[in-house]
Structure 1
């Protein structure tokens, strides 16, 4: 993931309602859910939810699919994983968390 994409994704999540929406979609799993279900679950008005879903889609964190008359929204789990990997790329000063844990636990 490039820095510009990471910043866009983090900026999209840096808003309380969008973060709640994204977490709810992650919880819904690969099946996703409809806007009406999300609105009821989160107590958010439909127009507000629509705005936030659009912002999450622009950041590549959410995808939309039409299923007959319904729209289904899903968290883009691969994109979420890429963001997590980007954030953890320099974890433990580049030594790798497992190696640091192994060294730290020699006295255990």
Structure 2
């Protein structure tokens, strides 16, 4: 990950509906959700959601796959990992104990 892709990803997440969409998709990994279900769960018009999904997709945060007549959207967890690692890469300044609370907060989820 580099500065440009990080800025693109953070910019994509810097809007309420897109952030809510991404977080919803993270919660529904690995199955993903069809666009209509995302729109229903977030109470967002489908055409508006389509625009937001496009922005998240271009930022590399969301993938899509056609299944029959539906398009299933998934959070790209590898991209989330890369973004998170890029943001904390220089954490600690050589003092791992400074990052221990961050690591401890992340560990229970997995």
Q: TM-score range by the shorter chain?
A: 0.7 to 0.9
Three-state SS of the structure 1 residue aligned to 2:36 is helix
With normalisation by structure 2, the TM-score equals 0.86
Written as runs of structure 1 = structure 2, the 5 A alignment for 1:74-93 is 74-93=74-93
Determine the structure 1 residue equivalent to 2:43.
43
Any stretches of 5+ residues in structure 2 without a counterpart? 102-110
Q: Is the 1:35–1:46 contact (alpha carbons within 8 Å) kept by the matching residues of 2?
A: yes
Q: Is the 1:61–1:79 contact (alpha carbons within 8 Å) kept by the matching residues of 2?
A: yes
The count of residues paired between Structure 1 and Structure 2 equals 101
After superposition, the CA RMSD in angstroms is 1.6
Aligned equivalents of 1:2 and 1:97: distance in 2?
26
Shift in Å, 1:18 = 0.3
Bigger Rg, structure 1 or 2: 1
Shift in Å, 1:99 = 7.8
Kindly provide the CA deviation profile for residues 44-103 of structure 1, in whole angstroms up to 9, marking residues without a partner as x: 0000100000000000000010001110000000000000000010112233247877xx
Q: Is the 1:92–1:100 contact (alpha carbons within 8 Å) kept by the matching residues of 2?
A: no
With normalisation by structure 1, the TM-score equals 0.87
Any stretches of 5+ residues in structure 1 without a counterpart? 102-108
